[in-house]
Structure 1
Amino acid sequence: MKKTVLFAQIAALGVIGVFTTGTVTAADPAKINWSRIPATNVPLFYPGQSSYEWLRSDAHKNAAKEVKRGDSCTSCHDEEGAEKDLGNKLVQAGPLEPMPVKGKSGYKDLKVQAAYDEKNAYLRFQWKTDNAYPGTEHQYLRFDGKKWEVWGFPKLDKIVQDGQMMGIYEDRMSIMIDDGKVPGFAKQGCWLSCHDGQRDMQKQFTKAEVAANPLLTSIKKSDVRKYLPESRNDPSDWKTGKSVEEINKIKAAGGFVDLIQWRAHRSYPVGMADDGYVLEFRLGDAGKDMFSGNADATTHAPKFMWDASKVGYKSITVDQLHQGDHFLIREKNAVPFDPNAGWKEGDMVPDYILSREDAKGSAADNNAIASWKDGMWTVVMVRPLGLTNSDDKALKAGGVYDIGFAAHDDNITTRGHHVSFVKTLGLGVAKGTKVDINAVKLP
């Protein structure tokens, strides 16, 4: 990955005052001496379709009763190498994997380090990618000679599985955080949010079912994504959503999990990680993300194209994929789309336009820097301490949090990620307090 992208991210962080705010000085994440920060290996494994419902069913061997009464996943899967065994089994064709992805790894080691100062928490992640290139490409808008259409889909999509389309999707690093207010999260982690009916899961929703669902229509959603059990009258049935008023009360009491996602295409180029949460749906925080759709809602043509005077081209073709950085950044290298620019069949423009300047509100809380070298991503997320937004879990010195990790890799999304069992994160907790990862106070 070009070093200029990393340096641009660092410069952007400095511009908005991540390093110095008033009399409070924060660390430069690129200059932290990580060799002095303890590292924890967090095993990640491929989960297949092992949903909240499956864990509580008879298909879960003899463990359904234990799961239903709230036992932790690790009360059974506690032996060394359990995650590797699970992942290598679940990634293959079987009851929990109806669409195996050729060559997909079942297990990854995630190296985690944590530090904090008076202003921020710094979480550093390292993991090996399946591919010999960084997964910074995402879907495109492609001109077929007459019209523009979305081109490139994740590997779990049937069109890719059938060989009719190239698999394209960005790498991601995600974390879920709870402060003890979500029932069951400390024991069963992200499995509380993964349900039958969701995209690429068993009993996947139909458009008609979503259109008839009172909760989803009231929040203007057209599919089914992560949700927490407390948001449903029947936790195992996504159709039984509680009223918006009931859900708002749960949210006000802190009954949601924070979801921070670093995206190798949609946030990495502008030095950020997006900010969201999970309750009745996987939702973005209030404000505006650093990415938005680049397709015109009526014509489907791009809104922006590359500025050829700055990058040397207005579009790319498929043979140029994975040949350098292909980010479309509004304030850096984009100009409004010109329909009369001599477009040819096969010309491609990114389906997302990025902007750090446009990112606003709670959605723009998190910063990040990253680099890819010799098959390994190194990502440092920068999370402000003491956030007071109603859609954030506030981190503070001395606090202990339940946290789940996930890495998306190899042009895939939804359940095609690698996940961890829930871990505990402490921010400089007192000696004797047991946590899996304890953030070090920076000088």
Structure 2
Amino acid sequence: MNKRALILAIAVLTAGPALAADPATIDWSKIPAVKVPLFYPGQSSYEWLRSDAHKGASKETQRGDACLSCHDEDDAEKDIGNKLVQGGALEPTPVKGKNGFVELSVQAAYDARNAYFRYQWKTHGKAGIEYPYYRFDGKEWKVYGGPRLDKAVQEGKQPPIYEDRLSMMLDDGKVPGFAEQGCWLTCHDGERDLKSATKEEVAANAAMQAYKKTDVRKYLPETRTNPSDWKTGKSVEEIAKIKAAGGFADLIQWRAHRSNPVGLADDGYVLEWRNFDSGKKMFDSNLDKDTKQPKFMYDAKKFGAKAATAKQVGKKESFLIKGKNAVPFDPKAGWKEGDMLPRYVLTKDVEGSAGDNKATGSWKKGMWTVVLTRPLGLTNDDDKTLKDGGIYHVGFAVHDDNITTRGHQVSFVRTLGLGAKADIQAVMLP
């Protein structure tokens, strides 16, 4: 046992539960900050990387070369992002005014109980703390608002509304190719906004029926018999074996609307699909599938009204939180055309593996600062275990400016070390 591990072991035995640091008291000025460049990827999917369209690099990608082995020059990410965001073969529906580059500052620390991550980035526009609503049109509750890549938003038929997000994808060496190509292993033709598969194609696919999924989302190549074809999914039993062997990528997402108000970040993983961890997460749909009406409305005494309005979008916090300002929906409450309620209701009462991560975010002078806390030593079958001395491969993504899916900025792979040499080195707290 090395000296650092011995210190931690003694501390655990002698100090008890109080050992965990309060993230709010960590002196981040003493923790090194690593600047990670993020860029707009357009539709540069796993399939595109291996096609002739990826000029001069398709063969290298197919044999498993690292993205950074080619894109190693200064400002490579900035040049790529600023080009792709303008439109072209990889971006058939460019978003007017969208930025192609973001610099993400990453700091990491840990103690005997937890790992702590601090992220900072400047947003392209105001903080996105809202999610599309349900709006009453006099007869029915219909979705109001959407991300800027949506056709209805680009045509001016819906207003741009979407939450900001910060994501970290992590692997411990058990996902083939992740160390070299990272997030691109998970992005495939067929996904939403990536040469999307139709509902009919998904419904007719045996594998997707077995997975009980109605659309295509992120997946790892190992889960398909043909890694480049979402239709060729392996059996549920084969997927279970891959998961049991740790062949999944952890996906941690902080969400400005659906997790930040309750001090959490959701926990998920990518395998045959983009899955949530087991248990009860912090947000749930606010639509009753049977009645086609909301499940909860605002407590008028606490929110000021039973519903929001379009005039309040961007001007008043719209979070709907159980135990704080949410009450059961009353269909006889005199609903009028234009009344709006959030599409998701939040709760602090998370359960199981889905509730592992705590996080707080604040937006000031155009910059988000997000601090994430993740326990060390997790043994859940849907988590990667962080531990002292461990080295991991990570990829980051930021969604802002009322956008989602491929409209984010992403990083090439970096290494993360807890007390070990890496691109991002987590510092052991005193």
Q: TM-score range by the shorter chain?
A: over 0.9
| 8 Å contact from structure 1 (residues 141, 301) kept in 2 | no
Question: Among the aligned pairs, what percent are the same residue?
Answer: 68
Residues in 2 aligned to 1:286 and 1:412: alpha-carbon distance in whole angstroms: 27
Q: How does 1:25-40 map to 2 (within 5 A)?
A: 25-40=19-34
Q: What corresponds to 1:157 in structure 2?
A: 150
Corresponding residue to 1:387 among 375, 378, 391: 378
Corresponding residue to 1:113 among 107, 113, 122: 107
Q: What corresponds to 2:9 in structure 1?
A: none
Q: Does 1:94 align with 2:81?
A: no
Residues in 2 aligned to 1:207 and 1:342: alpha-carbon distance in whole angstroms: 36
For residue 274 of structure 2, what is the amino acid of its counterpart?
Answer: R
Corresponding residue to 1:321 among 313, 316, 330: 313
For residue 413 of structure 2, what is the amino acid of its counterpart?
Answer: V
Structure 1 unaligned spans of 5+:
1-20
| 8 Å contact from structure 1 (residues 270, 355) kept in 2 | yes
Q: How does 1:14-413 map to 2 (within 5 A)?
A: 22-131=16-125, 133-202=126-195, 204-357=196-349, 359-413=350-404
Residues in 2 aligned to 1:152 and 1:264: alpha-carbon distance in whole angstroms: 16
Residues in 1 aligned to 2:278 and 2:398: alpha-carbon distance in whole angstroms: 24
**TM-score of the aligned structures, taking structure 1 as reference length:** 0.93
**Offset of 1:300 from its aligned partner?**
2.0
For residue 155 of structure 1, what is the amino acid of its counterpart?
Answer: R
| 8 Å contact from structure 1 (residues 179, 400) kept in 2 | yes
Residues in 1 aligned to 2:295 and 2:243: alpha-carbon distance in whole angstroms: 36
Residues in 1 aligned to 2:284 and 2:410: alpha-carbon distance in whole angstroms: 27
| 8 Å contact from structure 1 (residues 149, 300) kept in 2 | no
Specify the SS of the correspondent of 1:330.
coil
Runs of 4+ displaced beyond 2 Å: 21-24
Q: Deviations over 1:386-435 (max 9, x none)?
A: 00000000000110000000001111111110000000000011xxx3x1
| 8 Å contact from structure 2 (residues 127, 400) kept in 1 | no
| 8 Å contact from structure 2 (residues 248, 270) kept in 1 | yes
For residue 336 of structure 2, what is the amino acid of its counterpart?
Answer: K
Residues in 2 aligned to 1:24 and 1:400: alpha-carbon distance in whole angstroms: 26
Q: Deviations over 1:48-88 (max 9, x none)?
A: 00000100010001100110111000111000000000000
Q: Does 1:417 align with 2:411?
A: no
Q: Deviations over 1:351-388 (max 9, x none)?
A: 1000011x111001100011000111000111000000
Q: Deviations over 1:248-284 (max 9, x none)?
A: 1111001000000000000000000000000100000
For residue 442 of structure 1, what is the amino acid of its counterpart?
Answer: L
| 8 Å contact from structure 1 (residues 30, 369) kept in 2 | no
| 8 Å contact from structure 1 (residues 24, 119) kept in 2 | no
**Offset of 1:24 from its aligned partner?**
4.6
Q: What corresponds to 2:3 in structure 1?
A: none
Structure 2 unaligned spans of 5+:
1-14
**Offset of 1:438 from its aligned partner?**
0.1
